Amino acid sequence: MKRRTFLKKTAFTTAGSLLIPQFLKAYEQKHFGQKPLNDKILVVIQLSGGNDGLNTVVPFRNDIYYRERPSIAINQNNVLRLNDEIAFNPALEKIKELYDNGLVSVINNVGYPNPDRSHFRSMDIWQTGSSSEEYLSSGWIGRYLDAQCIGQSCLPHQALEIDDTLSLALKGQQVNGLSLQNPEKLYRQTQSTFVKTLTDIPAADNHDNVAYLYKTLAETVSSAEYVHTKAKVNKSRMMYPTTELGKSLNTIAELITSGVSTSVYYVSLSGFDTHIRQNDQQDRLLRQYAEAVNVFVNDMKANSRLDDVMVLTFSEFGRRVKQNASSGTDHGTANNVFLIGGPKRTRSILNEAPDLTNLDNGDLKYSIDFREIYATLLDDWLHTDSTKILTQKFNKLPLF
Amino acid sequence: MSRLQLVKSLFRDSSNIKLLTQVSNAPAQDLKNMRQAVKQNAGGSREDLRDKLKLMAQERRESISSLNDAWVAQMGNGAYAFREKMALFWHNHFACRSRAVSFIQQQNNTLRTHALGKFGDLLMAVSKDAAMLQFLNNQQNRKHSPNENFAREVMELFTLGRGQYTEQDIKEAARAFTGWGFNINGEFVFRENFHDDGLKTIFGKSGNYIGEDVIEMLLANPKTALHISTKIYRAFVNEKVDDAHVTAMAKRFYHSQYDIADLMQYVFTSDWFYHSINIGAQIKSPVEYLSGLQRTFNLNFVDKTPVLYTQKILGQVLFNPPNVAGWPGGKAWIDSSSLLSRLQLPSVLFRNETINISVKESGDVNEEKLVRKNKFEININWQDFAHSFESIPDSVLCKTLASYLLQVPINDATIKRIENKVSAPERTETVKQLCISLMSTLEYQVC
């Protein structure tokens, strides 16, 4: 409270500091408790490096698949069948469990026109929600924040990445999301006496950029305090795997069940760039993914929050149909996307399996633009207007 | 020295060009070729193949790091600083990535060579540069199967700017660029067999145009001068553009046949360049942050780890622009994380404090996984530095250092707190501690 009074006093004595009322408001809101943007939560899991979709959701009855991948195709006898055509990689056993309970949607052949096979560019496209011909400097979740914050002050923690640095996906034009490895660490960073000095004393300069720096720091400190205090409310009772992803999802679960007003969480799992000896590597990563997500979903269920929490999993591209000479795969195009959690679905496999007879230069053709998924999530899950966030109008999918 | 004299001496100093020579000009191979070559030569086991590929990827990482280090070092060297700042501007303007390190070095030297020359020469050289032709797929731009990538970006990003051309102009220009390619030595080659020598209609004119004709047409359009002037104004003067100033710049630029040095000299000698509204109007880019540190303290990074580490945690790695549009810059440098990192960095770099910020993995298996290194060793001769402030009374030492280190005024209350915080038994240590604190302020982030 002391600081608030101090800020109030100084705010109006500082000439030219346009920022003060806004960041003061941020402090106010923190104290009065802030409502989440809405009651639904989206958790995005990014598989970095280009996960091989064909060995994730396996076309186990397809001769072409086995012919093109003599040393890496997943044995028909080991797969976890979803229907007569496709099956999960056995490493996804824990996802299959959720699938059997009607908690998983598989969307096949997701991509975009004129696909780019560079990690950087394709990730850029997925994170910004652009077409391959346009370059956006803000991310789709960042613009979601922008759209929610018009006319009212907004705090970075409403979109939260579990990492030390912030991805482009969470950078808006007006508002940026917040990134933290865990609430404690961020809190410590913002509690140094020096950072306090910087937030206590207003700027003597009235440049727009200086004001922006002061505002960002004030919001960061405020968000860090808020998240840190809130996160203590509820500790997880589930046993999460000790992997990075397990720890991150544990943190997210605690924030959700503690009632932190974050609408979108973002987390990445890296290592899917399997040019050499793919199977060991992919198996290990998919298992890590499946185990962590399984515990997370059960945790949400145990806390009666599963109806409000949806997990989107994507990778920047799939890989070529034909394996390479090193028992790996090279960069490809269309890929599958998973949606896990939320209300039980009646339809678990949204669309047709990949057509291996109809390729574009050895690569899968997309039939669903990834931005159709974004648009559906924005409109029907996060209840906002997707046309304000994506640069054009996209078809909606019957996802839930 | 008068302002004009000062600027003139800056340009005189900048006539020296020091090319980067870290990487041998051996024929460049992309990874795909490397893999094939290894496969043929190895003939051995999969493990052999894997090890060789690993070795190659590691060699590539090392040479690109050494190139990065060398460039940052050169930026910190006063005699080359201005030319290097221009080269950095052009690196952002002609943003490009390449797997072939020798191509990267070659392009970088092209930017450096023409950094203060004629924009037309620079544009032509970059357009015929191996890394750019590769990056924008012009190697695949052939008669009957044109690839429009280069034609689009040369108009949208490099010259005219968005909205100054039609889709038809791009299609037709792409045909003119068919056959432009490069060989394994990174030399430009015109592959006549792939060239479409038919009639093209570009910007309302028809002819059997070749690539050089299109470049000429782009330069003939004053919109190019306006587009480049706007970017220069945003990078060197103020992110908020003043239309009158930029229009005057563009006019001069166009009439000087795109003389970059003349344009920069005009900017630096204009009264408005020194208006308080244009001082401290920019957020330092991570690379400027690094080169600024070097110049301010005359320091060399003996341990090179912080050079790349700083670029990574602050979000700008040389030779790795996010895409062909370059780094968005300005406020986009700053979010909660990057700002907190900036506030911690001076202590980490100069006080050997532990840092615990991990760098994002790109997902690319060939990218370096930067080991989390907790402490850095940096050698600064603080004695020499403190020596320059010898005659300054203690009572105004902090204020004097502030006006040396910061471009914008800082609140007296902040100065007071810093003074109270620093208590060192002797002068050199006091100067050092004051500097570290002053560099950990928000004001230090602007230039």
> Contact at 8 Å (CB) between B55 and B41?
no
CB B102 within 8 A of CB B28: yes
- Distance from C-alpha of A293 to C-alpha of A289, rounded to nearest angstrom: 6
SS3 B70: helix
Number of other residues whose CB lies within 10 A of the CB of residue A361: 6
Give kind and range of the element (H or E) at residue A213: helix A208-231
The predicted pLDDT at position B39 comes to 58
Which chain B positions have a beta carbon within 8 Å of A207's beta carbon?
Answer: 277, 280-281, 408, 446
Kindly list the distances between the CA atom of residue A25 and the CA atoms of A9, A171, B30, B167, in Å, as whole numbers in the listed order. 14, 21, 54, 47
SS3 content of chain B, % helix, strand, coil (to 5): 60, 5, 35
What is the spatial distance between Cα A172 and Cα A139, in angstroms, rounded to a whole number? 6
Residue of A nearest to B148 (CA): A133
| Helices B222-236, B243-255: crossing angle, 10 deg rounding | 130
Which residue stretches of B221-329 are H helix? Answer: 222-236, 243-255, 260-269, 286-297, 305-314
pLDDT at B255 over 50: yes
Cα B215 from Cα B158, distance rounded (Å):
11
Q: Which residues of B touch A324 (CB under 8 A)?
A: 35
Question: Of B31, B239, B310, B337, which to mutate for an interface test with A (greatest number of A Cβ within 10 Å)?
Answer: B337
In sequence order, what are the beta bridge partners of A183?
Answer: none
**Interchain contact A59–B (C-beta under 8 A):** no
For B259, list phi and psi in degrees, rounded to 5: -80, 110
Whether residue A104 contacts residue A82, with contact meaning beta carbons closer than 8 Å, is answered with no
Q: How far does A107 lie from chain B, in Å, by closest CA?
A: 22
Strand partners, A339: A105, A312
- Taking CB atoms and an 8 Å cutoff, what residues of chain A touch B282? 209
Alpha-carbon distance B403 to B412, whole Å? Answer: 12
Residues in chain B within 8 Å Cβ distance of A273: 363-366
Whole-number Å distance between alpha carbons of B148 and B170: 7
Q: How far is B12 from chain A (nearest CA, A)?
A: 33
How many Cβ pairs within 8 Å bridge chains A and B? Answer: 176
pLDDT tens, residue by residue, A317-357: 999 999 988 899 999 999 999 999 999 998 899 999 999 99
* Secondary structure (DSSP) of A128-154: HT--TT---SS-HHHHHHHHHTTTS--
Residue A335 near chain B (CB below 8 Å):
no
Could you give the angle at which helices A208-231 and A244-257 cross, rounded to 10 degrees?
A: 90
**Cβ <8 Å between A217 and B339:** yes
Contact list in A for residue B421 (CB cut-off 8 A) is: 193-194
Q: How far apart are the first and last CA of chain A?
A: 45
pLDDT of residue B28: 54
Q: Return the exposure string of B24-62: e unless at least 16 CB atoms fall within 10 Å of the residue's CB, then b.
A: eeeebbebeebbeebeeebeeeeeebbebbeebbeebee
Q: What is the pLDDT of residue B395?
A: 94
- CB contact under 8 Å between B343 and A198, yes or no, is yes
Q: How far apart are the first and last CA of chain B?
A: 23
Best residue in B32, B442, B446, B447 to probe A by mutation, most A CBs within 10 Å?
B442
Task: Please state, in angstroms and rounded to a whole number, the distance separating the CA atoms of residues A24 and A335.
Answer: 45
User: Smallest Cβ distance to B336: which of A124, A135, A166?
Assistant: A166
Which residues of chain A are within 8 Å of residue B363 when distances are taken between CB atoms? 48-50, 119, 123, 270-273, 316
B367-394: pLDDT as tens digits:
656 555 567 778 788 999 999 999 999 9
The pLDDT value given to residue A15 = 33
**Strand locations in chain A, DSSP E?**
41-48, 57-58, 80-81, 87-88, 104-111, 159-161, 178-179, 264-270, 309-315, 335-341, 368-369
**Low-confidence winner among A263-267, B47-51, B331-335 (lowest mean pLDDT):** B47-51
Could you please report the per-residue DSSP string of B92-146? Answer: HHT----S-HHHHHHHHHHHHHTTTSBHHHHHHHHHT-HHHHHHTTGGG-BTTB-
Per-domain residue ranges of chain A:
41-178+241-388
Q: What is the pLDDT of residue A326?
A: 83
What average pLDDT does the segment B228-234 reach?
97
> What are the tokens at B42?
């190895």
Helices B211-220 and B119-127 cross at an angle (nearest 10°) of: 150
The CATH code belonging to domain A41-178+241-388 is 3.40.720.10
Report the residue of chain B nearest A224, measured CA to CA.
B336
Answer whether A308 touches B (CB < 8 Å): no
Cβ-defined contact of A209 to B362 (cutoff 8 Å): no
Q: What are B300's strand-pairing partners? A: B379
CB contact under 8 A, B365 and A133: no
Q: Chain B within 8 Å of A241 (Cβ-Cβ)?
A: no
Asked if A276 has any chain B CB less than 8 Å from its own CB, the reply is yes
Closest CA to B445 of A211, A196, A186, A167: A211
Do B408 and A156 count as a contact with CB atoms less than 8 A apart? no
Q: Do A209 and B239 touch (CB under 8 A)?
A: yes
Quote the pLDDT of residue A24: 42
pLDDT in tens, B173-227: 999 999 999 999 999 999 999 999 999 999 999 999 999 999 999 999 999 999 9
Cβ neighbors of A281 (< 8 A, separation 6 or more) are A271, A274
Contacts of B59 (CB under 8 A, 6+ apart): none
How far is the C-alpha of A337 from the C-alpha of A339, rounded, in Å? 7
Nearest to A220 among B323, B331, B340 (CB): B340
DSSP H or E segment with residue B91: helix B81-93
Q: Measure CB to CB from residue B363 to each of A179, A316, A326 and give the nearest one.
A: A316
pLDDT lower than 70: segments of chain A? 1-38, 151-153
Measure CB to CB from residue A213 to each of B356, B360, B445 and give the nearest one. B445
Largest CA distance in chain B: 80
Contact call for B364 and A120, based on CB within 8 A: yes
Nearest residue on chain B to A170, judged by CA atoms?
B335
Which residues in chain A are closer than 8 Å to B311, comparing Cβ atoms? none
Residues 6+ apart with CB under 8 A from B77: B84, B294
Query: What is the per-residue pLDDT across B379-436, written as a single tens digit (0 to 9) for each?
Result: 788 999 999 999 999 999 999 999 999 999 999 999 999 999 998 889 999 999 999 9
